[in-house]
Structure 1
């Protein structure tokens, strides 16, 4: 079954990019970075995700206001969600 890592960090974008690279280097092909089946009608089953690592993290919007804010104080900028074609 998959391992889900829920990451809560209070770093700037540069540090987040460094963290992402470390995750990629350490977990390599086990890290789920793209949908298993981009055109799938439903989300993958736990069996299909067996042996994969999924990182759950809040997605941040990068725009001019982002650069001016210090997000380490907990300002919420966006959410990470899973695309589900059934919702369309």
Structure 2
């Protein structure tokens, strides 16, 4: 029996923004965008999750745009490194 547990989310999304509204566990994100790869750290994901929690009780007009990462928020990695992470 082979069990593989990935300690990150792999998201193939070909846009410059990424919504993480449906994430249930805080983990780093490996993001593939049109053949390019980047990593969004666990700490950045945690910060967004906490921001969303803090904003739950605020009136709508006072809420900031939470739950969205931009491509520039990630640390670029090569396709070879991404392939090693996914194997």
Same fold judged by TM-score > 0.5? no
| TM range, smaller chain | under 0.3
When the two structures are superposed, what TM-score results if normalisation uses the length of structure 1?
A: 0.27
When the two structures are superposed, what TM-score results if normalisation uses the length of structure 2?
A: 0.27
Higher strand proportion, which one? 2
Structure with the bigger RCO (C-alpha within 8 Å, sep 6+) is 1
